[in-house]
Amino acid sequence: MLLVPCPNCGPRNSADLRYGGESHARPDPATASPLQWRGYLYLRDNPAGWLRETWYCRSGCRRWFTLERNTATNEFRDPPQPGDKRGSKA
């Protein structure tokens, strides 16, 4: 079972959390085309490598948070901060 580093509660069994899946921005519902909206609903990058994803610490602090996980190794790291050279592709 994965050990997920909750920023408040520390490493926690993944069963203590809800997996929110790949992090993705919500399109503006006023202007989104069906293609954009359904991309938001159903299309995921699913990379073999670093992935930004959301978790909900439902048995602990009740916070939704975002982390980066390497899907090939299950290594976690904090998401890049503004100005971080690692950048993001979101």
Partner 1 sequence: MTMSRLEVQPTEVIDRSTTLRFRWNGKRFSGFEGDTIASALAAAGEHVFSRSMKYHRPRGILTADYWDPNLLVQVGDDPNVRAGHRLLEAGMDVGAQNVWPSLHRDIKAANGLVSRFLTAGFYYKTFMRPQRLWPAYERVLATFAPGGKVDPDTPHRYHDKRYSHPDVVVAGAGPAGIEAALAAAAAGARVMLVEHEHAVGGHLRYAHPEPARAALAELRAALAASDVEVLTDSTVTGRYEDNWLGIVQRSHPVAVERLIKARAKVLVVAPGLIERPYVFAGNDRPGVITSVAARRLINLWGVKPGERAVVFTANADGDAAAADLERAGVEVAAVVDGRDGRRVSAAQGPPKALEAVVAGGTRTEADLLVVAAGWTAPTSLLNMAGDRPVYDPAAARFFPSDPPGNVLATGGLAGDGRLDELRAHGAATGRLAAQRAAAVAHRYQARTARALAVTGDEPAWAADERAPLRRDRHPELYRSDTHGMVDLSEDVGSKDLVAAAREGYDSVELAKRYTTATMGSAQGKLETVNTVAAIAEARGETIAQVGTTVWRPPYAPLTLGALAGRMFEPVRVSSIHPWHEANGVRTIQAGQWIRPDHYGDPAAEVRNVRTNVGIIDVTPLGKLDLRGPDIPKLLNLLYTNKWSKLAVGKVRYGMMCAEDGVVLDDGVTGRLGPEHYLMTTTSSGAAGVWEWVENWLQTERPDWRVHVTPVTTAYASINVAGPKSRELVSRVVDGVDLSPEAFAYMEVRTATVAGVAGCFMWRIGFTGELSFELHVPAGHGLHVWEALMEAGADLGVGPFGLEGQRIMRLEKGHFIVGQDTDGLTLAPSTGMSPLIKLDKEDFAGLPELAWAADRQLPLIVAIQPDDPEIVPEEAAQIVRGDTNEILGRITSARMSPTLGRAVCLGQVEPELAAGGTKLTVLLASGQRIGATVMDHHAHFDPAGERLRG
Where on the chain is the footprint of partner 1 (CB under 8 A)?
1-3, 5, 7-11, 13, 18, 20, 26, 29-30, 32, 34, 37, 40-41, 54, 56, 58, 62-64, 74
The residue (of 37 and 50) whose beta carbon lies closer to partner 1 is 37
Shortest gap between Cβ of 47 and partner 1 (angstroms)? 19
**CA distances to 37, 65, 66 from 59, in Å:** 31, 14, 17
Smallest Cα–Cα separation from 45: which of 23, 26, 64, 15? 23
What is the nearest approach in angstroms of partner 1 to the Cβ of residue 74? 6
Beta bridge partners of 12: 4
